[in-house]
Amino acid sequence: MSRVVALIAMIVAFYAVSILWIMTDQRAAKHTFDESSAANTSDEGVSLAYAYLRSHRHVEMLTRLVSSDQLARNGVVFRIGRTIQPIFLEEQEEEESPKKKPTHLHYRQRTNPLLTSDEAEWVEHGGRMVLAMAGAVGPLTLEYDAEGVAHKVFPFAPGIERIALPERRGIAPSSLGARMVALYISGKSVVVSREPLGAGDIIVITVPEMFQNKNLGIGNHLPLLIALSGVSRPIYFDEYVHGLASADGPLDLLKEWRLGPFLLLILVVALLKLWRGASRVGPPEEEFRDTRSDAVDLVSSLGALYQKSMTDSEALTLYQDALTRTVAAQTGLRGEALQKRVAELMGGGGGPAFRLRLKRINNAFRKLAPVKRRPNAKHQRNRDAVRRTSPAT
């Protein structure tokens, strides 16, 4: 048992030390998390932007898909570096539920290819979605002929007239949607654009590198981040697209499967059973337990059988015969010599008194020393012959 406890203690200590090492190792935060992730502390991460906003505002890492049930209505979601293809998600939903009728939410998804149906619903209620992507987003076409600086062409973010561009990347004006407005342009390319949607809006940025740790303090990048965050609005960094996804907990699954009433009924039945088992019905059961072993029961049964089937003198005669056989087996004596040895052990011949004779036989059995049984001569010769004929090992 002590070895098992020691093994378990060693396993627990190993995992505890491993987790502590991973949590305290600074290299893990640089190389474990994805590029442009808020948990990445390397030059390509956005941990500084996350930390700065968190020191002044309510900021969270979003590890679920965007939906109205999970986020504040006036919140701001930063999705930096990676994107979710709305059309792919829509096709996946249709495959999982082919008989589901098209709803107004799916219709809204088709009219706005930049967002999924749940994201569009959340934005329409007052949310802001900031899509900072280095690749194509929906129907938007990228161009790589931008200049090193983007200039503001539409009223937005007071005091920020120019933005330095770490990468010369922009959107082709011809691919902008009908409701999209260019906020900052560089040459002929649109770097920052905005599309109003209900009570909220969508902001598309083609140079997400401006929010990375190595570029955040350059060229009005931090003021732009603050302006995009709005005033007194909850902020979410979308880490779901970077692989940091959290699964539903037990309570969420119970709500989804509607098993709460069923579990409550089981709890009530269990309480009723415990209460019913605690109350006594009828007289109490006897606490007597027969702890005797089978051997004791056998001896008791044989004694009762002998007592009914023979007299005391006959029983003593059988007892003395057993003593004689035992002495013969241990000493090898036979005939008159055997009877003489038995008489010596009993201290004299058998008297007429029952108790005296029984006492002498018991004393004779106590005097017998346990002697090992001598092996049979025939069996010993056979073993010797086998040993001589067997090959040496």
pLDDT at 103: 45
162-164 and 189-197 strand pairing: unpaired
pLDDT at 383: 60
Q: What is the dihedral of CA 58, 131, 226, 148, to 10 degrees?
A: 160
Q: Which residues contact 271 (CB under 8 A, 6 or more apart)?
A: none
| 213 sits in which H/E element | none
The predicted model scores a pTM of 0.55
| pLDDT confidence bin for 52, thresholds 50/70/90 | very high
Q: Which amino acid is at 181?
A: V
189 DSSP assignment: E
Q: What is the pLDDT of residues 76-126, one digit of tens each?
A: 999 998 877 665 455 555 555 554 444 444 444 445 788 888 999 999 999
| pLDDT confidence bin for 53, thresholds 50/70/90 | very high
Q: Is residue 374 pLDDT above 60, yes or no? A: no
pLDDT at 107: 41
**Between 303 and 185, where is the model more confident?**
185
Q: What is the pLDDT of residues 299-323, one digit of tens each?
A: 788 888 878 888 888 888 888 888 8
pLDDT at 174: 92
pLDDT at 293: 63
pLDDT at 46: 93
pLDDT at 384: 64
Rounded Cα distance between 211 and 50, Å, is 10
Rounded Cα distance between 21 and 12, Å, is 14
Q: Which residues contact 143 (CB under 8 A, 6 or more apart)?
A: 169, 170, 171, 172, 188, 189
User: What average pLDDT does this structure show over 234-243?
Assistant: 91
Q: What Å distances lie between residue 21 and 15, 17, 94, 169, 285, CA to CA?
A: 10, 6, 44, 40, 60
| pLDDT confidence bin for 382, thresholds 50/70/90 | low
Rounded Cα distance between 363 and 171, Å, is 115
Rounded Cα distance between 114 and 204, Å, is 9
Instruction: Supply angle C-alpha 50, 228, 191, rounded to 5.
Output: 105
User: What average pLDDT does this structure show over 177-196?
Assistant: 94
User: What average pLDDT does this structure show over 50-73?
Assistant: 90
User: What average pLDDT does this structure show over 198-206?
Assistant: 94
What average pLDDT does the structure give for the chain? 80
Q: Which amino acid is at 73?
A: R
**Between 382 and 214, where is the model more confident?**
214
- 26-251: CATH class: alpha beta
Rounded Cα distance between 128 and 116, Å, is 14
| pLDDT confidence bin for 340, thresholds 50/70/90 | confident
Give start-end residues of each CATH 3.40.50 domain in the chain: 26-251
Q: Is residue 388 pLDDT above 70, yes or no? A: no
Give the helix ranges, DSSP H, for the chain.
2-24, 26-31, 47-56, 86-96, 104-111, 117-124, 221-229, 250-257, 260-278, 294-309, 312-331, 335-346, 354-367, 377-389
Pick from 124, 122, 119, 113: which is nearest to 86 by CA? 113
User: What average pLDDT does this structure show over 199-210?
Assistant: 94
Q: Is residue 341 pLDDT above 50, yes or no? A: yes
pLDDT at 393: 39
Bridge partners, residue 80, by sequence: 132
pLDDT at 366: 83
Q: How large is the angle between the packed helices 335-346 and 354-367, nearest 10 degrees?
A: 110
Q: Is residue 379 pLDDT above 60, yes or no? A: no
